[in-house]
Structure 1
């Protein structure tokens, strides 16, 4: 009987990224398996968002490899010297279409209704007929609790509602991997819970998710695997229990100390 583990959906090995002389990512290794929820935590400036942007090819990374379903993202290696070459924009676009991303800012088109915002990628990128795209959009807007807001424009929606539209838009594209970058950071505190509830529902449904968040209670309750990043490196990784109950580094203990009041309520 084989005991080999399934190949991860996402594999990152030695990922490096610099902006000028400032090295942001110093060699990130990370696996995300199908159906897993992985959370990246750490102080601002530790490289979490940059790493997400490299996965989604919004930033070019100078070193290492990122594989999705065994296919290298963004580059190919060729020649006797194993030279890295950027893939064509058409190929990059095709890869990016398999990776959904929800940002801090909602990035909705202001001249389009909620339904039209969700439909746009389905018709323009996926090439679906308008009627089918509309059916999918209505399904996902209902799923995030906005069936009665589908004809509303962004200015008619609260921040939490706009972020839920953005999540519906990303999930409607049926991505293999869904990235969340601090999606509650721009929201008023009373609106955070409604967005986290949608994300928790997606996690329960088996969506593969890689998220950056400072909502530690949410991370502890929802994530399967937690990665603490510090100074562009993975400083500690493990189950929520290992990270929150048995932090092994002074930096992680210091970081979690900021959330002691929140986390102690569930210990």
Structure 2
């Protein structure tokens, strides 16, 4: 039996002024799946993630999380924006890890993870500390919980950011090029954490240029080109049998690591 869709996007469109960045994106993410978006810079990948997390407002189409429209509801033929209270509740069900770590410099690693647990979820300091220590341990930073961001490497800071997002127990976790700001030798440690989360059953929607990683962890891959889904399918289908010329050209940038 097929799992129901956790995230369902239908004909999602987004304009910035006169430029249409998303031109009708359709996408399904089911519980426990890892779905990846690949494509050249400017193809709309990050914009789509930001629409899912309500950091951008899509202009058309519909995005459903657990069957509930994100950000809007339809009243007849008119889209009505939800109340800020309902939107905040929807945001709380979606975690996001960004290219930049976005840690508070005046807080320790543990305090960064605890903040959302106490301020958003209303947990006690003792409970939040226990959860933070658990997740910092899961990302290999138990001994760094009292360190400030400036005392951590880029890879360690990104792992704190991942722990912070996962500690909130989101239904869906979004990753936006989380290794792009890291030195090459630090990339593997972050990808290792993401792979462990995938293997634990975390539902993930990610944007990445780490093609070997995408191929290994993804259940489904979508290649975006100029705001449209140009090809999608299982990783083996997308990487081994690219039917789209733009996809073949895109994969050709990766030094022939994929057989075609």
TM-score by length of 2: 0.98
Q: Let me know the Cα RMSD of the aligned residues.
A: 1.0
Equivalence for 1:47:
44
Runs of 4+ more than 6 Å apart: none
The 5-angstrom pairing of residues 47-66 of structure 1 reads 47-66=44-63
Does residue 1:163 correspond to 2:166, yes or no?
A: no
Aligned residue for 1:9, secondary structure, equals: strand
Aligned residue among 125, 128, 146 for 2:123: 128
Aligned residue among 181, 199, 202 for 2:176: 181
Distance 1:90 1:124 in 2: 15
CA contact (8 A) 2:118 2:124 kept: yes
Aligned residue for 2:5, secondary structure, equals: coil
Aligned residue among 192, 213, 216 for 1:221: 216
Equivalence for 1:20:
17
Equivalence for 1:38:
35
Equivalence for 1:69:
66
Distance 2:90 2:146 in 1: 31
Q: Give CA-to-partner distance per residue, 1:187-240, whole Å, 9 cap, x none.
A: 000000000000000000000000000000100111111000001000100001
Equivalence for 1:197:
192
Equivalence for 1:96:
91
Q: Which runs of 5+ in 2 are unaligned?
A: none
Deviation of 1:262 (Å): 3.5
Q: Give CA-to-partner distance per residue, 1:92-134, whole Å, 9 cap, x none.
A: 1100000000000000000000000000000011111111100
Aligned residue for 1:116, secondary structure, equals: helix
Equivalence for 1:250:
245
Q: Which runs of 5+ in 1 are unaligned?
A: none
Deviation of 1:12 (Å): 0.1
CA contact (8 A) 1:118 1:137 kept: yes
CA contact (8 A) 2:240 2:258 kept: no
Equivalence for 2:75:
78
Equivalence for 2:5:
8
Distance 2:198 2:209 in 1: 17
Aligned residue for 1:227, secondary structure, equals: strand
Distance 1:262 1:148 in 2: 37
Aligned residue for 1:18, secondary structure, equals: strand
